[in-house]
Amino acid sequence: MKKSSFKKLLCLLVLTPFIFTSCGSDDDNNNQTTQNMLNYNGEEFEINSVFTEYYGETSPGVYNSDLNITDAVVTSTNGYPSSTSSDFYVIYLEAFSNTPDGLAPGTYNYLSEDNPETAFTFDYGDIAFGLDSDMIEEFDDYIEISSGSLTISGDNTFELDFNGVDQTNNSFSGHYEGTLMNFDATGDMYLRTAPANSLKRSKK
């Protein structure tokens, strides 16, 4: 074998492990990609923001946080959730936990309002599409949720998986992994008139 051919073969053998290692890393990264998506009646929508409004202890050992899931881009304005997005959807769930620190990790199942407020349940929920921030309170086409569950997990990153059926018999499910915004609704300030573009809703 000529020396030049031998050198080419040796270089190829040295570089081959690096090529396979690089390809393997790319595949691993692709497999780790998580989409924050809502599937509603077979149609997919992005989830851009998830936030809670914490109302405190509503019965002994039970604490209420209203969970909101939306494709609107939500920010904080004077302590209120707000957005300049338009034509967005919101899934709204009145959930109950066993801690004053917000929604604890675990699975929360739908339990109708006919039952006492119980930790790790939600007793009311609705979903609406085509919203703008200036019509949150006046909107009349909220579709109530009739069954479902949500699971909260994650140590350093908030993770949410949820599913359910609404009163029009449309099913929905989704996954979100990212930032959870928390708004304190226990003080008198939160009961006052909200600033423009607020996504605050009055309690049902």
- Measured from the Cβ of residue 198, the count of other Cβ atoms closer than 10 Å reads 18
pLDDT at 137: 63
Q: What is the mean pLDDT of residues 42-62?
A: 95
pLDDT of 34: 61
Residues in the chain: 204
pTM of the full predicted structure? Answer: 0.79
Mean pLDDT on 105-110: 97
Q: Tens digit of pLDDT for each residue in 149-182? A: 999 998 889 999 999 999 999 999 999 999 999 9
Q: pLDDT class for 190, splitting at 50, 70, 90?
A: low
In the predicted model, is pLDDT for residue 21 greater than 50?
Answer: no
Angle, CA 194 vertex, CA 189 and CA 198 arms, to 5° = 130
126-144: pLDDT as tens digits: 999 998 877 666 666 889 9
Across 53-82, average pLDDT: 93
- The answer, yes or no, to whether residue 15 has pLDDT greater than 50, is no
Confidence band of 102 (pLDDT split at 50, 70, 90): very high
pLDDT at 2 over 50: no
